[in-house]
């Protein structure tokens, strides 16, 4: 895998603040969400934070896999769907949560299952923005977000390589 030119590392503290900011935006919508459907795996952490902040106790997962690296995203494969009860009325009253919308392909797959649900994510890239209703931060399409659950502590090269220190 080739590394992207633009990296956006996110710490646990930053992610928690951003997920809470998403909860604030969602609370301001004055919708009575009856359940959260989180898109695994990335949606698990923000769903936990948002369920606490919005006091939503019913949490379901939809599990979708695809071969994905920095350059390509492959075919979508639904490993686990959503409980039939939550699909009633197209998922009306359901809040779908993910960490990121990149190309929008995953959200499109879930939208086919829950067309009337409210889609929210913490971060969004331009290609994915049309697939979500609410998000917190937009980054450029060529930026790679490094989530805290994917990182360890290592030395980081300066942005301007060859700088004198």
Residue pLDDT, tens place only, 107-165: 999 999 999 999 999 999 999 999 999 999 999 999 999 999 988 777 777 777 765 55
Select which of 13, 102, 142, 150 is catalytic.
102
CB 58 within 8 A of CB 34: yes
Residue numbers in the known binding site for guanine are: 102, 145
Q: Known catalytic residue: 102?
A: yes
21 inside domain: no
Q: Known catalytic residue: 71?
A: no
12 inside domain: no
The enclosing domain of 94 has a CATH number of 3.40.50.2020
Total domains in the chain come to 1
Closest by alpha carbon to 121, among 57, 32, 50?
A: 50
163 inside domain: no
Select which of 13, 71, 98, 142 is catalytic.
98
Rounded to whole angstroms, the Cα distance separating 59 from 48 reads 9
120 inside domain: yes
24 inside domain: no
Residue length of the chain: 165
Residue 137 Rama label (left phi>0; alpha psi -120 to 50; beta): beta
Rounded to whole angstroms, the Cα distance separating 86 from 91 reads 6
The token pair that represents 23 in the structure block: 């909860």
| Digit-coded pLDDT (tens) for 23-79 | 999 999 989 999 999 999 999 999 999 999 999 999 999 999 875 555 556 688 899
Select which of 13, 99, 142, 150 is catalytic.
99
Residue numbers in the known binding site for GMP are: 102-106, 144-145
Please report the pLDDT score of residue 102 as a whole number: 95
Report the DSSP beta bridge partners of residue 123: 100, 137
Specify the DSSP class assigned to residue 4: P
Residue numbers in the known binding site for Mg(2+) are: 99
CB 67 within 8 A of CB 73: yes
Q: Known catalytic residue: 99?
A: yes
Cα-based distances in Å from 96 to 6, 81, 132, 135: 28, 13, 9, 12
Band the pLDDT of 4: cuts 50, 70, 90.
low
Domain that holds residue 57: 32-149
């Amino acid at each position: 895998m080739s590394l992207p030119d633009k990296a956006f590392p996110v710490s646990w503290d930053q992610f928690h603040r951003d997920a809470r900011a998403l909860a604030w935006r969602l609370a301001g919508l004055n919708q009575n969400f009856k359940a959260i459907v989180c898109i695994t795996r990335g949606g698990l952490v923000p769903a936990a934070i948002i369920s606490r902040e919005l006091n939503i106790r019913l949490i379901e997962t939809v599990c979708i896999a695809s071969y994905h690296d920095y350059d390509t995203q492959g075919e979508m494969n639904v490993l686990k769907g959503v409980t039939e009860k939550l699909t009633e009325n197209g998922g009306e009253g359901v809040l779908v949560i993910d960490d990121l919308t990149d190309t929008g392909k995953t959200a499109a797959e879930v939208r086919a299952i829950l067309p009337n649900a409210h889609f929210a994510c913490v971060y969004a890239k331009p290609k994915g923005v049309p697939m979500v209703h609410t998000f917190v931060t937009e980054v450029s399409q060529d930026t790679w977000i490094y989530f805290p659950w994917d990182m360890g502590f290592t030395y980081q090269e300066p942005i301007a390589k060859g700088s004198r220190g």
